[in-house]
Amino acid sequence: MVKLGLIGCGRIGKLHARNLVHRVEGAQLIIVSDSNPQAAKKLASELGIEYTLDYRELLKRELDGVLVCTSTDTHKQIVIDACEAGKNVFCEKPLARTLEEVDEMVRAVRRAGVKLQVGFNRRFDPNFSQAKKEISSGVIGKPLLLKITSRDPDFPSLEYLKVSGGIWVDMTIHDFDMARYLMGEEVEEVYSTGSVLLEPRLKEFGDLDTVVTVLRFRGGAIGVIDNCRRAVYGYDQRVEILGEKGMMEVPNPLPLQNIRWDIEGAHSSKLYYFFPDRYERSFVEEMRAFIKCLREDTEPPVTGEDGRLALLLALRAQQSFKEGRPVKVG
Amino acid sequence: MVKLGLIGCGRIGKLHARNLVHRVEGAQLIIVSDSNPQAAKKLASELGIEYTLDYRELLKRELDGVLVCTSTDTHKQIVIDACEAGKNVFCEKPLARTLEEVDEMVRAVRRAGVKLQVGFNRRFDPNFSQAKKEISSGVIGKPLLLKITSRDPDFPSLEYLKVSGGIWVDMTIHDFDMARYLMGEEVEEVYSTGSVLLEPRLKEFGDLDTVVTVLRFRGGAIGVIDNCRRAVYGYDQRVEILGEKGMMEVPNPLPLQNIRWDIEGAHSSKLYYFFPDRYERSFVEEMRAFIKCLREDTEPPVTGEDGRLALLLALRAQQSFKEGRPVKVG
Amino acid sequence: MVKLGLIGCGRIGKLHARNLVHRVEGAQLIIVSDSNPQAAKKLASELGIEYTLDYRELLKRELDGVLVCTSTDTHKQIVIDACEAGKNVFCEKPLARTLEEVDEMVRAVRRAGVKLQVGFNRRFDPNFSQAKKEISSGVIGKPLLLKITSRDPDFPSLEYLKVSGGIWVDMTIHDFDMARYLMGEEVEEVYSTGSVLLEPRLKEFGDLDTVVTVLRFRGGAIGVIDNCRRAVYGYDQRVEILGEKGMMEVPNPLPLQNIRWDIEGAHSSKLYYFFPDRYERSFVEEMRAFIKCLREDTEPPVTGEDGRLALLLALRAQQSFKEGRPVKVG
Amino acid sequence: MVKLGLIGCGRIGKLHARNLVHRVEGAQLIIVSDSNPQAAKKLASELGIEYTLDYRELLKRELDGVLVCTSTDTHKQIVIDACEAGKNVFCEKPLARTLEEVDEMVRAVRRAGVKLQVGFNRRFDPNFSQAKKEISSGVIGKPLLLKITSRDPDFPSLEYLKVSGGIWVDMTIHDFDMARYLMGEEVEEVYSTGSVLLEPRLKEFGDLDTVVTVLRFRGGAIGVIDNCRRAVYGYDQRVEILGEKGMMEVPNPLPLQNIRWDIEGAHSSKLYYFFPDRYERSFVEEMRAFIKCLREDTEPPVTGEDGRLALLLALRAQQSFKEGRPVKVG
């Protein structure tokens, strides 16, 4: 049994904690921590486990790994502390908002000889991981074109947006990771353009709501990501990859399959509203993968380097937009 | 070039005539006839060909074949006359409303040594003919279950219905032919039940609007046909066949593929409204097949025997409903 | 918190037990029992709860309800004992194999004034329950035709089949319940026919592998159920209902949505292989509904009468096949 | 009756000629011309009409309009001659390969006071014209994002490619027109990148086989076009538009709807192989629209200005690729 502690009892922390207790085998969640006493206590009591207000107390416990689910600005310090306490780490995405911070974190991981898995959960979605498997097997041949559609159902709060680091760091970062994951290849150039079409207040702090990003991979393949903060029809998360020998489409799964026919035509289900439902399975599988790499002492499936490279692409895309030209990733 | 004459310039006659002139190669429509002078003249003038009011005049012409597109009650005499004039015959479905008449027609055909093709156009629909081809190739293995959905968008006129011979002879007859065609096997027992749920006036002359018919094939496979005179969402024409090694679905083609997503979900196109649109291609292919069997002197793809057996099933289904029990086809 | 005990630690018992512990709120599984010590001990240990080998010991405990998940032939005695112990009961389907036994069970339930919920889990499938909701709301108008496709991926063992009561009691019974549930109306006549096409050894004990059953509802609507013991492409569970104002289709959900295009066309996912995956959500919702009716003291959503009527239809269908004619349900 | 002549009896000329004779009402094709005597004679004989080897002879005839279906390099002279002969003109796309030539043609059209319709047939595809209609009606609200997928099944000959003007002028030009048509708005900036991934010989003359083009519309909406010269699974022609109130998808129509299920999953039809099949209906509707604007003396639905602007976008995209930066359209 792998013994775990969890730091940060907010939305995503609770989600991981419940999955660890109810849906993941081979792991035992021992303790949770949160500087907010109510949050820590409530989650601990729901799951029948211990809690502490100070994550440093948690790090003193005998644990195989910790999950860092706090707000992004606290990631660096907690991850470094966890490394120094000799704990393997699962850290939510993004690792940090600057490359410098990420580099510091990755150095701490190496120094301590622990493992770091980054929370790009979408890789563990059954559709995406099956697509990856088939693409790697060569069934569609050499990839030529990648298209990622990634649209939220609605805006988060303006307060959140102001400190989010901008749409590329907050939202597209998942798609940058997905692009690298599916293509199995690095990006050499990024071009991004976009607009404020839905929420004029974004202009006050230089953010966008509708963005298209073009990726040039080293081998010449081209990728396109389109993002929008509001798709009224739901959380739209699709991928397609054209290869030399075929094409792989990953459409949206639907919560209901029913089709109603009337005099106007056919009517079918809405999309899942947002990520806790849409990516439910991926969060379970992500934890299973983390447990597995601890138990079998293997490389995590999403490393600190993966976290770093996704952030690098996000920052280059932002730069591209600001400078109005494609930017080399370097 | 195959030389043809067409008898009966109503809806289906015009459809065949136009296809012969504009869309079918290797044939020449020489003359049309209709006892209604206006109908005959108008069609002839549209197509730039001759016409006559008396089909017997038409039968005196040098023609390789004639198309009989008049009302069902006139089929027998015209087909017999055509045979005696040595003409190959394409006759619309149903051949007649009684087995006795059909037998007389088939005898005339044999006596004259001409060909008779019956107008079961659905066999020539690209989806159905492809399904037949694949089923025959063994790709789904031995057929176990056949399901045919066959629903009209709305009732024809009550006047039409009163002389139509009832839903089995008028509507299900197409499905009986489809069942025999796809299964490549004869039916040994029929059970049919149904109701008047939509149009109470049908009760005055003993007809139904909603019917389910079960077929037992000789080898033990089971078929089900469901019919309804009014499907508000359009002309619903589907088939599926379960075999030992797989299943073949023939869904409805749609006139438009667009999907509109909004806050309620996805909305897509209506079905085709009725047979001239839904089965447009089948009518063209049906004519091509008739021309081909005349040119190559081969057996027509839908014979008088096929017409007879579909009618026999229709009459047995009617009997089954009246007697409230399954009936052997004999 | 509702306190529960579970009797029978086989496949379906384990499934319910795990759902109660991990996925259902408001209930506490206190104890399990099984006459097989290994089965009882293993499940209890996995879940960290008590166990007993004798269900009568379990019935002595202070519990709000018990789940009867043993083999069908033991249902009657256990349910009656549970009633006499004053426990509310959830009993797996079928309640029993004869109407006499079911009547005895229902009488015991009434006498004790407890609740009985029967395990027709499919009613709780999200697609089916949404369809029911919409049909009841009148959105497709008065139902005219119901079609249920219900095919297993493969045969159970011959040993199982020999004591299963035959395909109607073992397999179609779910579909009879679904038909009554979706139509909200009782059946007045049943006709069933079928064959042995796949497994000749069924003939030794008079069972079938391929069956079509026609239902006549009291208001004249017609239903068709098609069953097959082996659909090589997976567990095929579909429904459609034609109404006066529209049609509701419930297609199969798929485990994966990916579509691969190559020179041959498009290739997409298999169906779910069988019920634990296909109906995963329904089992969770079924337990939630049971807990809810205990907590709120309401009528169970699937009553003993529902269990009785589904069995009655199964027995009448069997009789219809044997007598070669439609049979009134009475 | 509108009287027409057709210049150029190659693939696209034959297609229009046959449609005019067999499928379009209200028009009469009087004469065809081609400098290749065989081509002209064969088509004229097939359709039972006159022919000439010199298009200037044709222009002397009393005609309401002419169709220019010759190779692109001859368009300018023929269109100018036709204008001077007072004929209305339908000219195939692209009008020419340089803006200077197009401007000269448009001036000749204005001077003569005749009509010019350009052959962007895709606008007349039933799916696309329905999408346009709905988008214009406001049903999806203000457009935010446009995505066009446009992939050929395979390369044309290298000989053709060498004189084609490059992928943007030859292939993407249709998509530029589609973008302007669906969005009802002009493009202000273009960025394009691409690669040679499939056919290395393209490098000899600076062409590409895989290209992504990003459009910035004046109101801030963003468009993406992806092109590839070879999609082994067929002619892939899709569009989607995200709007403030919904999303419109235009998927590929399929030639067959059948789905075959086996132990591997579901298998469905290939795409149409190429444009004569995929866009069959659009060519008929395009002719109908041309006839209609001649008969009703209205503005053609696709004008010389449309032809000019699509070419302008193609040239700007080419420039963007060469200069490695987004380019203002001006």
CATH number of A123-274+303-328: 3.30.360.10
CB-based contact A246 C257, cutoff 8 Å: no
DSSP state of B169: I
CB pairs under 8 A between B and C: 110
CB-based contact C267 D264, cutoff 8 Å: yes
Q: Is B226 on the interface with C (CB under 8 A)?
A: yes
Residue to mutate among D146, D195, D241, with most A CBs inside 10 A, is D195
Q: Are C240 and C224 in contact (CB under 8 A)?
A: no
What confidence tens digit (pLDDT) does each residue in B269-302 have? 899 999 999 999 999 999 999 999 999 999 999 9
Confidence of residue A16 (pLDDT cuts 50, 70, 90): very high
Residues linked to residue C149 through DSSP beta bridges, in sequence order: C226, C238
Q: Check whether B322 has a pLDDT greater than 90.
A: yes
Please report which helix (H) or strand (E) contains residue B237, including its range: strand B236-243
CB-based contact D269 C270, cutoff 8 Å: no
How far apart are alpha carbons A232 and C276 in whole angstroms?
A: 34
Q: Are B149 and B226 in contact (CB under 8 A)?
A: yes
pLDDT computed for residue C98 by the predictor: 95
Both tokens of residue B71?
């009302």
Confidence of residue B330 (pLDDT cuts 50, 70, 90): confident
How far apart are alpha carbons D202 and D204 in whole angstroms?
A: 5
Q: Is C163 on the interface with B (CB under 8 A)?
A: no
In a 3-state reduction of DSSP, which class is residue B150? strand
Could you tell me the residue ranges of all domains in chain A? 2-114, 123-274+303-328
C153 CB neighbours in chain B (<8 A) are none
Alpha helices per DSSP H over chain B: 11-22, 37-47, 55-60, 72-84, 99-112, 126-136, 158-162, 167, 173-183, 275-278, 280-295, 304-323
CB pairs under 8 A between A and D: 111
What confidence tens digit (pLDDT) does each residue in B221-254 have? 999 999 999 999 999 999 999 999 999 999 999 9
Q: Check whether C269 has a pLDDT greater than 90.
A: no
Both tokens of residue B30?
């020489």
Taking the CB of residue A156, how many other CB atoms lie within 10 A of it?
12
- For A234, the closest chain B residue by CA position comes to B263
Q: Provide ipTM, 2 decimals.
A: 0.95
Q: Which of A261, A265, A269 sits opposite B265 (nearest CB)?
A: A269
Both tokens of residue A165?
């680091």
Q: Per CATH, is D2-114 categorized as 3.40.50.720?
A: yes
Q: Check whether A108 has a pLDDT greater than 90.
A: yes
Query: With 0-12 CB in 10 A as exposed, 13-18 as middle and 19+ as buried, what is A120?
Result: buried
pLDDT computed for residue B317 by the predictor: 98
Amino acid at D165: G
Q: How far is A30 from chain C (nearest CA, A)?
A: 16
Q: Is C256 on the interface with A (CB under 8 A)?
A: yes
Q: Which of A243, A290, A287 has the alpha carbon at shortest distance from A20?
A: A287
Both tokens of residue D66?
């002419």
Q: Which of D290, D300, D298, D301 has the alpha carbon at shortest distance from D26?
A: D290
What confidence tens digit (pLDDT) does each residue in D153-164 have? 999 999 999 988
DSSP calls for C130-147: HHHHHHHTTTT-SEEEEE
- For A209, the closest chain D residue by CA position comes to D144
What confidence tens digit (pLDDT) does each residue in C140-160 have? 999 999 999 999 999 999 999
Q: Check whether C247 has a pLDDT greater than 90.
A: yes
CATH class of C123-278+307-328: alpha beta
CB-based contact D267 C266, cutoff 8 Å: yes
* Chain C neighbors (3+ CB pairs < 8 Å): A, B, D
Q: Is B329 on the interface with C (CB under 8 A)?
A: no
Q: Give the mean model confidence (pLDDT) for residues A3-21.
A: 97
Share of chain D above pLDDT 90, in %: 98
Could you please state the CATH topology (level 3) that the domain comprising D123-278+304-328 is classified under: Dihydrodipicolinate Reductase; domain 2 (3.30.360)
Alpha helices per DSSP H over D31-123: 37-47, 55-60, 72-84, 99-112
Q: How many helices (H) and strands (E) does chain D have?
A: 12, 15
What pTM does this model have?
Answer: 0.96
Confidence of residue D189 (pLDDT cuts 50, 70, 90): very high
Q: Give the mean model confidence (pLDDT) for residues A194-207.
A: 97
Q: Check whether C330 has a pLDDT greater than 90.
A: no
CATH number of B122-278+303-328: 3.30.360.10
pLDDT computed for residue C5 by the predictor: 98
Q: Is B262 on the interface with A (CB under 8 A)?
A: yes
- For C267, the closest chain D residue by CA position comes to D267
What does the mean pLDDT of chain A come to?
A: 97
How far apart are alpha carbons C328 and B173 in whole angstroms?
A: 29
How far apart are alpha carbons B152 and B231 in whole angstroms?
A: 6
User: How many Cα neighbours within 13 Å face the side chain of B86?
Assistant: 5
CB-based contact B197 C211, cutoff 8 Å: no
How would you write chain A as a 3-class SS string?
CEEEEEECCCHHHHHHHHHHHHCCCCEEEEEEECCCHHHHHHHHHHHCCEEECCHHHHHHCCCCEEEECCCHHHHHHHHHHHHHCCCEEEECCCCCCCHHHHHHHHHHHHHHCCCEEECCHHHHCHHHHHHHHHHHCCCCCCEEEEEEEEECCCCCCHHHHHCCCCHHHHHHHHHHHHHHHHHCCCEEEEEEEEECCCCHHHHHHCCCCEEEEEEEECCCCEEEEEEECCCCCCCEEEEEEEECCCEEEECCCCCCCCEEEECCEEEECCCCCCHHHHCHHHHHHHHHHHHHHHHCCCCCCCCHHHHHHHHHHHHHHHHHHHHCCCEECC
Share of chain B above pLDDT 90, in %: 98
A140 CB neighbours in chain D (<8 A) are none
Confidence of residue D46 (pLDDT cuts 50, 70, 90): very high
CB-based contact C246 A259, cutoff 8 Å: no
How far apart are alpha carbons A172 and B79 in whole angstroms?
A: 72
C270 CB neighbours in chain D (<8 A) are 263-265
Q: Is C321 on the interface with B (CB under 8 A)?
A: no
Q: Check whether C120 has a pLDDT greater than 90.
A: yes
DSSP state of D152: -
pLDDT computed for residue D186 by the predictor: 98
* Chain D neighbors (3+ CB pairs < 8 Å): A, B, C
D139 CB neighbours in chain B (<8 A) are 260
- Cis omega before residue D276 (within 30°)? no
CA distances, B167 to each of B92, B192, B200, B226, C214 (Å): 17, 11, 15, 11, 19
CB-based contact B130 D245, cutoff 8 Å: no
**Which residues have C-beta within 8 Å of that of residue A249, sequence separation ≥ 6?**
A238, A239, A240, C258, C259, C260, C261
CA B105 to chain centre: 18
Q: How far is B140 from chain C (nearest CA, A)?
A: 10
What confidence tens digit (pLDDT) does each residue in B157-172 have? 999 999 889 999 999 9
Residues linked to residue C223 through DSSP beta bridges, in sequence order: C146, C215
